[in-house]
């Protein structure tokens, strides 16, 4: 029976690093869906309430449910913009969703960003524009990772 692990949080919080490590840990037949990869690299789409990434992410979730033991979905995934995706996830995976939100201080995410290969692509100013404090989705029954 397939399960979904949902990792959300602000830029620089560690979601992608953990998702990649989990994919290696779970091994073959683990689908990793990265919001950044789908939206920015595959579609080259803007983010927002009507992002073109939403239908593709939904389709990929369904594919993962049908063909993979574990699906990892990671990204900022703003609750107000991606609510339809979370609704689709609940419909597909039911109680087999393990949702986590990375709740770190802004300064810590900026510090972590400075260790990343793409540190020159954007900086603290852009990260502040994207910042969304405690962006809860409401259906998580799992502990929230906090570092305050």
Each residue's pLDDT tens digit, 104-116 = 999 999 999 999 9
Instruction: Strands of the chain (E only): list them.
Output: 3-9, 30-34, 70-75, 97-103, 145-146
Residue 99 sits at the vertex; the CA angle it makes with 119 and 15, to the nearest 5 degrees, is 10
Distance in angstroms (rounded) separating the CA atoms of residues 35 and 96: 20
Structure tokens belonging to residue 33: 């869906």
Structure tokens belonging to residue 87: 């609704």
pLDDT band at residue 146 under the 50/70/90 scheme? very low
Which domains does the chain show, CATH number per domain? Answer: 3-146 (3.40.50.300)
Angle at which helices 79-93 and 53-67 pack, to 10 degrees? 20
Other CB atoms within 10 A of residue 87 CB:
12
Distance in angstroms (rounded) separating the CA atoms of residues 123 and 113: 8
Bridge partners (DSSP) listed for residue 72: 5, 32
pLDDT in tens, 12-39: 999 999 999 999 999 999 999 999 999 9
Mean pLDDT of 127-132: 94
Global pTM value: 0.91
Structure tokens belonging to residue 89: 């996830």
Percent of the chain with pLDDT over 70: 93
pLDDT band at residue 148 under the 50/70/90 scheme? very low
Percent of the chain with pLDDT over 90: 87
pLDDT in tens, 45-73: 999 999 999 999 999 999 999 999 999 99
Region of residue 55 (left: phi > 0; alpha: psi -120 to 50; beta: else): alpha
């Amino acid at each position: 029976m397939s399960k979904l692990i949902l990792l959300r949080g602000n830029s620089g919080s560690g979601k992608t690093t953990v998702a990649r490590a989990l994919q290696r840990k779970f091994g073959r037949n683990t689908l990793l869906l990265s919001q950044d990869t789908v939206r920015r690299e595959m579609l080259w789409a803007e983010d927002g309430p009507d992002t073109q990434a939403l239908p593709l992410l939904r389709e990929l979730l369904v594919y993962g449910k049908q063909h993979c033991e574990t699906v990892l979905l990671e990204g900022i995934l703003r609750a107000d913009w991606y609510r339809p995706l979370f609704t689709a996830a609940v419909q597909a995976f039911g109680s087999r969703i393990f949702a986590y939100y990375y709740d770190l201080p802004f300064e810590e995410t900026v510090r972590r960003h400075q260790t990343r290969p793409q540190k020159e692509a954007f900086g603290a100013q852009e990260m502040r524009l994207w910042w969304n404090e405690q962006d809860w989705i409401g259906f998580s029954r799992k502990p929230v990772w906090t570092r305050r």
